[in-house]
């Protein structure tokens, strides 16, 4: 039994065509008009399959087949993107989930449990923070009210945007606990390709620390202000950026640090800036080293504020500890992938994923497909069609087997 590769690829294309950007990617920032159109398309496909569709207060869409015979085996992902998104990040997990159900239906095979596909709101966290917000609310890790009160980078209130696109539903949060959760996703990194391995059985997700840093100094004339009298936020932002790079190199291992956004005000050639607003993305698989990195950055910024005569204030945008997936689900993915005749390796995820939130409430893991050149969050993101299709077939078998497994703990029954 195999999913329809043709249908999967054509649906990926149809979804990518919503919010198209040069280079073949998509821009569907969370809760924008493009996000709405993408959601409408998925809901149409869910309806065509006759799935029971529920939408909760944060806009998570869940399509379930065979409601009512126990807790479902759930899959899913997200269809929101970063501003420069590729065509596979998130989309693959949602569309492969629909493929699994459609394939089993066509084969007239009914698993002993419901199967469901989730489309989680605002996984990317590019417009509203924190990331993985929909799945976090679904898993009970964030109160719905708190999420609804989030303000976007463009100043919009999340609740208003959700109402505007008509995806504020009435299903309760947290959501009903699934029997198990498995997500198919592209790796978004270079490891599978570099090692010549076909698939990843994902062991967990590294810890994520996001903060916004506001530097306020003294705006002044670029020609007349002596260097010794400057309180320059652009210089301070640059120092912090360099410090992060050097910190990551010094700590080594899995430590990664990124300054992805810098807004300078007033951003003019002949004005020493008044302020700089930047974001820090610091991640590690080891919680203690992640904490060390955070405290070294804080110390550095304190000293810098003092020496440069600027004020530096910080705001936490997201903070999630590393997550370890359930060994039973990891083992299952590994053995099923081998039984399909493919090479597989265990690996942690560098990116954040909805599965890490579902792991709080039920046995969970993920299947990774390779990403060509390890490129993601970029329109050039690419995964070979055979990898997308074979990955979906592994997802199918994994969901089928999970539906037949009993877990004594951490289940919804
Ligand atoms: C989400 O995609 C993240 O890891 O930034
Ligand atoms: Mn993703
Ligand atoms: Mn992403």
> What pLDDT sits at residue 356?
98
Q: Are residues 81 and 107 in the same domain?
A: yes
CATH of the domain at 313: 3.30.70.360
Asked if pLDDT for residue 125 goes beyond 80, the answer is yes
327 domain residue, yes or no: yes
Q: Residue 67: its pLDDT value, please?
A: 80
Q: Which atom of ligand 1 is nearest to the CA of 352?
A: 4
> Other CB atoms closer than 10 Å to residue 318's CB: what's the count?
17
pLDDT tens-place string over residues 198-214: 999 999 999 999 999 99
Q: 302, 320, 338: which is the final residue of a domain?
A: 320
Q: pLDDT averaged over the chain?
A: 97
High-pLDDT (> 70) share of the chain, %: 99
Ligand 1 nearest-atom number relative to CA 131: 1
- 318-349 residue pLDDT tens: 999 999 999 999 999 999 999 999 999 999 99
Statement to judge: residues 16 and 155 lie in one domain: yes
> For residue 156, how far is the Cα from the chain centroid?
21
Whether 412 maps to a domain, the answer reads no
Alpha-carbon gap, residue 241 to 280, rounded angstroms: 9
Distance from the alpha carbon of residue 377 to the mean position of ligand 1, in angstroms = 9
Asked if 349 and 77 count as a contact pair (C-beta separation under 8 A), the reply is no
> Is the domain of 51 the same as that of 181?
yes
pLDDT at 149: 98
Q: Report how many domains make up the chain.
A: 2
Cβ(94)–Cβ(77) below 8 Å: yes
Interval 351-373: pLDDT, tens: 999 999 999 999 999 999 999 99
Average pLDDT score over residue span 260-276: 98
C-alpha closest to that of 393 among 358, 369, 363, 362: 369
Asked if residue 410 belongs to a domain, the reply is: no
Could you tell me if 194 and 244 lie in one domain? no
Q: Is the pLDDT of residue 160 over 60?
A: yes
Q: Give the 3-state DSSP-derived string for 94-118, with helices as H, strands as E and coil as C.
A: HHHHHHHHHHHHHCCCCCCCCEEEE
CB 398 within 8 A of CB 215: no
Q: Are residues 294 and 148 in the same domain?
A: no
Mutation to probe ligand 1, out of 211, 261, 353, 368 (largest number of atoms < 8 A from CB)? 353
Q: Which of 320, 341, 365 is the last residue of a domain?
A: 320
What's the average model confidence in pLDDT over 385-409?
95
In sequence order, what are the residues at sequence separation of 6 or more whose Cβ sits closer than 8 angstroms to the Cβ of residue 46?
A: 53, 61, 63, 98, 117
- 387 domain-assigned: yes
pLDDT band at 410 (very low <50, low <70, confident <90, very high): very low
Whether residue 274 is found in the same domain as residue 370? no
User: Is the pLDDT confidence value at 413 over 50?
Assistant: no
Select from 267, 285, 320 the last residue of a domain: 320
- pLDDT, one tens digit per residue, over 5-35 is 999 999 999 999 999 999 999 999 999 999 9
Are residues 111 and 185 part of one domain? yes
Q: What is the pLDDT of residue 409?
A: 55
Task: Tell whether 16 and 135 lie within a shared domain.
Answer: yes
Atom of ligand 1 nearest to the CA of 283: 4
- Residue ranges making up the domain that contains 314: 207-320
Whole-structure pTM value: 0.95
């Amino acid at each position: 039994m195999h999913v329809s590769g043709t249908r999967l690829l054509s649906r990926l294309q149809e979804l990518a065509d919503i919010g198209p950007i040069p280079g073949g990617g998509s821009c569907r920032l969370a809760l924008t008009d493009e996000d709405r159109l993408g959601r409408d398309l998925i809901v149409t496909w869910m309806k065509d399959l006759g799935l029971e569709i529920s939408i909760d207060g944060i806009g998570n869409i869940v399509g379930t087949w065979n409601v009512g015979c126990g807790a479902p085996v759930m899959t899913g992902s997200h269809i929101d993107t970063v501003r420069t998104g590729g065509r596979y990040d998130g989309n693959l997990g949602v569309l492969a989930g629909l493929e699994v159900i459609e394939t089993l239906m066509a084969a007239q095979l009914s698993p002993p449990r419901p199967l469901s596909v989730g489309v989680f709101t605002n996984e990317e966290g590019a417009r509203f923070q924190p990331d993985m917000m929909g799945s976090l609310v679904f898993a009970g890790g964030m109160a719905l009210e708190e999420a609804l009160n989030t303000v976007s980078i463009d100043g919009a209130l999340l609740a208003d945007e959700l109402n505007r696109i008509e995806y504020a539903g009435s299903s309760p949060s947290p959501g009903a606990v699934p029997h198990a959760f498995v997500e198919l996703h592209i790796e978004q990194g270079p490891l599978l390709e570099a090692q010549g391995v076909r698939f990843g059985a994902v062991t967990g997700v590294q810890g994520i620390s996001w903060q916004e840093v506001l530097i306020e100094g003294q705006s002044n004339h670029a020609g007349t202000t002596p260097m010794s009298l400057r309180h320059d936020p652009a210089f301070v932002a640059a120092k912090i950026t360099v410090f992060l790079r050097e910190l990551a190199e010094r700590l080594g291992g899995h430590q990664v640090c990124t300054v992805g956004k810098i807004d300078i005000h007033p951003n003019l050639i002949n004005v020493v800036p008044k302020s700089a607003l930047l974001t820090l993305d610091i991640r590690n698989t080891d919680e203690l080293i992640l904490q060390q990195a955070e405290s070294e950055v804080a110390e550095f910024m304190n000293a810098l504020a003092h020496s440069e005569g600027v004020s530096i204030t910080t705001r936490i945008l997201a903070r999630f500890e590393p997550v370890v997936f359930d060994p039973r689900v990891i083992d299952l993915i590994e053995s099923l992938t081998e039984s399909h005749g493919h090479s597989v390796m265990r690996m942690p995820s560098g990116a954040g994923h909805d599965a890490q939130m579902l792991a709080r409430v039920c046995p969970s893991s993920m299947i990774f497909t390779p990403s060509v050149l390890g490129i993601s969050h970029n329109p050039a993101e690419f995964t070979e069609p055979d990898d997308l299709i074979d990955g979906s077939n592994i997802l199918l078998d994994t969901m089928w087997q999970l539906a037949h497994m009993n877990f004594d703990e951490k289940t919804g029954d």
